[in-house]
Chain A
């Protein structure tokens, strides 16, 4: 079945794919924080970030086009934010987080649009590279390894596992509508969308109950059994530290 999310980029047969997931998560979050905290006018710094990320994409042998296409999903949201730029007061830092590093500075509307677009695009590209070089189970394990709250990790892993199952179920329901002549063109047909959502809710709820029964049947007592943590490799940590150091140097020197 076709899903919006079906195309799987994930590949691990590259230098980035072999890195410890924990290191990659810390690296990605670190890179985003550095990027977001950069003053908007520091064009040189942004150029270095972009080059750094392109280097990562090249290193991981990901198709640049596909990564770009995925990163572009953020543009509509960023533009929404940017659309409000003219309404900001000139003495406010619009759309950026200064973290107190740069002090107050006035920005023009054009700079705000640039600021929002550049930072969101770079940040999302980092996330795309992270998820494209890390199989989801490893990502989940990495989060667990970084002491992310258990409930967050569980929610993520269940969402990942059942997203496609639910998408299939939704498509089946919609098909059942369509084969009986539903075209969703008129306002009075809107109620059947409501029914569709209701049916989805009930099915999801019942499935959750069945999953829970299957879990307790295998001895689940409220605590998810922990996986052994993978051994820590210094090599991986040094790689991430070097990458972050490069970005941080650009952040400090060019801002």
Chain B
């Protein structure tokens, strides 16, 4: 069997101020799997994400990507393998034009100009923004910026994707577009989010983090079958479902009158 796409082994991470953000986290994700990492604010989700491409290096334990242990010497390889789409596209789009932003990654990879151009064209086409090449990110809508942010990673063709809060601040149609995009990828995808419904729609497996500890790792259906645990872990889906049910029941009662 080939090496897992992502493997965390006993990873702990403590911030300089003493906060233990990750507490002995272990899991493995096979190539092609789509996994959601969910949990409340401050659960360590973002810290975990930054370990994937070596922005943060595990203080104890080890992270490996496609069998390569993440460390100072393997950063280049690891960053080519893992594409990260950050939460705020304004942080990810720093070039003066859309095309330059999408070309940034491939150029850093040292690809020849013709190949860079081809990848920029293909990536923008796939996110439906052909013709936006010379536009400035400042003049785009939030949903369009998100799509360009995805294109900037797409042009690097990473086998592993990590999304940080992909649904945050997006309207429903844009969320659906991102959902569809994730569903269409044959790659390994990690979705880090507190939006449980988005994670459940895009992933088949969920990992729940609470206060830096991994408290659940299993199929989506398995988690949803245990509503008491969801409430205990403050996964807001439960609350919303109940609200939804209550409103529906209320409606039907008034309609019956």
- Give me the interface of A with B, judged by CB distance under 8 Å: 135-137, 140, 157-158, 160-162, 164-165, 207, 210-211, 213-221, 225-228
Q: What residue in chain A is nearest B117 (Cβ atoms)?
A: A228
Tell me, rounded to whole Å, the shortest Cβ–Cβ distance linking B169 to chain A.
14
Most A-side CB within 10 Å, residue of B50, B80, B86: B86
Chain A positions within 8 Å of B153 at CB level: 218
4 smallest CB-CB distances across A and B, nearest first, come from A225-B107, A219-B108, A137-B96, A218-B105
Tell me, rounded to whole Å, the shortest Cβ–Cβ distance linking B82 to chain A.
8
Most B-side CB within 10 Å, residue of A161, A211, A218: A218
The answer to whether B104 has its CB under 8 Å from any CB of chain A is yes
Q: Are A213 and B55 interface neighbours, CB within 8 A?
A: yes
- Give me the interface of B with A, judged by CB distance under 8 Å: 50, 53, 55, 76, 79-80, 82-84, 86, 88, 90-97, 100, 103-105, 107-109, 113, 134, 136-138, 152-153, 156
Tell me, rounded to whole Å, the shortest Cβ–Cβ distance linking B104 to chain A.
6
Chain B positions within 8 Å of A220 at CB level: 104, 108
Count of A-B residue pairs with CB < 8 Å: 79
Taking a contact as CB atoms closer than 8 A, the residue among A136, A164, A207, A217 that contacts B79 in the complex is A217
Q: Are A210 and B88 interface neighbours, CB within 8 A?
A: yes
A207→B92 CA distance, assembly (Å): 10
Chain A positions within 8 Å of B96 at CB level: 136-137, 140, 157, 160-161
Chain A positions within 8 Å of B134 at CB level: 135, 137
Q: Are A219 and B91 interface neighbours, CB within 8 A?
A: no
Tell me, rounded to whole Å, the shortest Cβ–Cβ distance linking B55 to chain A.
5
Q: Are A219 and B105 interface neighbours, CB within 8 A?
A: yes
A158→B9 CA distance, assembly (Å): 39
A227→B53 CA distance, assembly (Å): 26
Q: Are A136 and B136 interface neighbours, CB within 8 A?
A: yes
Chain B positions within 8 Å of A161 at CB level: 93-96, 136-138
Given the interface pairs A137-B97, A161-B95, the reply to whether A216 lies near B79 with Cβ below 8 Å is: yes
Query: Which applies to chain A's interface (DSSP): helix, strand, loop or mixed?
Result: helix
A228→B55 CA distance, assembly (Å): 30
A217→B51 CA distance, assembly (Å): 11
Most A-side CB within 10 Å, residue of B82, B86, B103, B107: B107
Question: Can you name 12 A-B pairs with beta carbons within 8 Å?
Answer: A161-B96, A161-B137, A207-B90, A210-B91, A211-B92, A211-B94, A214-B94, A217-B53, A218-B152, A218-B153, A219-B76, A219-B156
A28→B96 CA distance, assembly (Å): 22
Chain A positions within 8 Å of B86 at CB level: 210, 213-214, 217
Q: What residue in chain A is nearest B162 (Cβ atoms)?
A: A217
Given the interface pairs A137-B136, A158-B94, A161-B137, the reply to whether A218 lies near B79 with Cβ below 8 Å is: yes
Tell me, rounded to whole Å, the shortest Cβ–Cβ distance linking A198 to chain B.
20
Chain A positions within 8 Å of B94 at CB level: 158, 161-162, 211, 214-215
Chain B positions within 8 Å of A214 at CB level: 84, 86, 91-92, 94
Tell me, rounded to whole Å, the shortest Cβ–Cβ distance linking A3 to chain B.
11
A225→B156 CA distance, assembly (Å): 14
A162→B88 CA distance, assembly (Å): 13
A71→B165 CA distance, assembly (Å): 45
Q: What residue in chain B is nearest A208 (Cβ atoms)?
A: B91
Chain B positions within 8 Å of A162 at CB level: 94
A48→B79 CA distance, assembly (Å): 58
Chain B positions within 8 Å of A160 at CB level: 96
Q: What residue in chain A is nearest B86 (Cβ atoms)?
A: A214
Chain B positions within 8 Å of A225 at CB level: 103-104, 107-108
Chain A positions within 8 Å of B109 at CB level: 219
A215→B84 CA distance, assembly (Å): 10
Chain B positions within 8 Å of A210 at CB level: 86, 88, 91
A159→B156 CA distance, assembly (Å): 26
A227→B134 CA distance, assembly (Å): 14
